[in-house]
Each structure stands twice: as structure tokens, then as C-alpha cells.
Structure 1
Amino acid sequence: MSQTTTQQAEAATTAALAPEQMDVLDQLMKPEIQESLTVLVANLPKLAEMTTILTKTYDLVQTVANDQVLIQDLKGGMEEFVKPIQDKAKGIAQAAIEANDRSHVESSTIGLFGMLKMLKDPQVQKTLRFAQAFLEVLAEREQQKR
């Protein structure tokens, strides 16, 4: 009789459970789920430590992201770093545009003597030295790869 009462109580409990709860219970009965739970329980200390580290990292990121003074300082620092590069790039671009315009206006032919005269120009010499050094560096790197 007590067994019948216990079975009736279990049946009543099972009937009283919502369908979502039944799904959870069905899932818990699967062997692979039970194995996964065993692994999780075994690794709880590591998971707790990782959670603590992630929480601290999250708090730090939130603090940094909401610190307007730090953001403005970083922005100012980046602008100080980028501005000279930006100005130099603009200067080079403007010089290239101006040189292109001049080359389209100028229609005279540059002969051998004109080229010899150009070789004396300090800017041409500087450019040639740079080109020579650049090619030497490329050759050295090519030799190192072999």
C-alpha cells in the first residue's frame, strides 16, 4: 500500500510539473548530460577563478571606458603622435600635385646636358643616394633569405 501511495505521489508531482521542468528532468536523465555535469562539478574551482578574473577585467574595462579624463588624454596623445605624420603626408601630397601640374605645363625636352645639370641639384643627389641605399638594403635582405 505504501508503494502505491509513493507512486501516486510521484505521479502527482510529475503531473504538477510544468512542461519546461519536464524537459529539464528529461535532459538530466541523459548520460551525456550527467557526464558533462560531472566534468563541470570537477572543474568548479577553475571556473570560479576564471569568473573572478573575468569580472575584474570587466570592471577595469568599464572603469576605463567611462573615464572621460583618460579618454581625452589618450585622444590628445594620439593626436600629438599622428599630427606630424599627417602634416608631412599632406606636404608630400601637395608637392606631388604641384609637380604634376608643372610637368604638364612644361613641354620642353630634357636632353643629355639637361640631365647632367640636374645631377648637380642637391635634391636629385639626395634622392639618388636614398634610392641607392634602398636598393642595397633590398639586396642584402634578398641575400639573407638565401
Structure 2
Amino acid sequence: MERIGVVLDFFNFQNAVSRAEIEVNFQELLYYLGDLEEGRKLVDAYAYFNLNYTTENTERLLIEDIEASGFLIKRKINYSKEEEEYNFYETEIIIDILKFVSDLKIDILVFGSTNTIFYPLLKTLRDRGVRVELISIENFENEKLKGIVQGV
């Protein structure tokens, strides 16, 4: 039985979904990814939200819906518009994924983002024997990330 972990860089993922004019049922997505009949057991799923102090409350219902579908929510609230704040968000995701994969002994990481900052992380995981899959939506894949993953 392969142990599956799912991570979404949520707004990055949602922007791609919106551009493709697709509606995603996140509960069904998790069910599909962790199909026991296929030998895949969903261990945990995280959705990362990069918020700023002015939009934190306006996204509350969306965050509650994603949480109700089975994702654990990770929030990063930026209190300034500095680019450095966004870099902290990406760094936190990288550190969390490394801990998550190691601590929970994840065999397959399913990742939803087009941000190439994650390329070294995904390559490192793959080099260490973790299968890396990218959630694929038409016109969503980033060619650099697509080149390193083992499943789309």
C-alpha cells in the first residue's frame, strides 16, 4: 500500500483552474488520489493559503469549504507588501513538505502548483525515492516542473 500526501499551493492552483474554466470538487479529488482499490492510501492533504491582512476575512468561507473537503489548512498572513514576505511563504511550504514526507513516510507526493521555486524540492524528493506527481489540468502544467515529476 503506497502512502500518499497531497499539497496544494492553493491560490496558484486555483488561478490555473479558473483560467481553464474548470470547477474542482476537492473532496472527490482527495478520494480519487487516495483510492484504496488502486493500492493508494491518503495519509494527509494540505492546502496552503497566502493571505494578506486585508483579505484574510474575505477568504474565510473558501478556506472553511476546502477544510471541510478534507484538507488541513496552512495559512500565511502577510502584513506587508514586501516580496520578502512571499518568499517566506514559499520557504515555509518547502520546509513543511520535507518534514511531512519524512515524518509520515510518504511514498508519493501529489503537488498542485506551477511555481518553479519548488523545482529543487521536487527533484530532491524524487532523488530520495519519493514518487512526485503533479496535479494536471489543461494549460496548468509548468514545463520545468512537468519535466521532473513522475506522474501528471
TM-score relative to the length of structure 1: 0.18
Answer 1 or 2: which has greater helix percent: 1
Answer 1 or 2: which has greater strand percent: 2
Larger Rg over CA atoms: 1
Higher RCO by CA contacts (8 Å cutoff, separation 6 or greater): 2
TM-score relative to the length of structure 2: 0.18
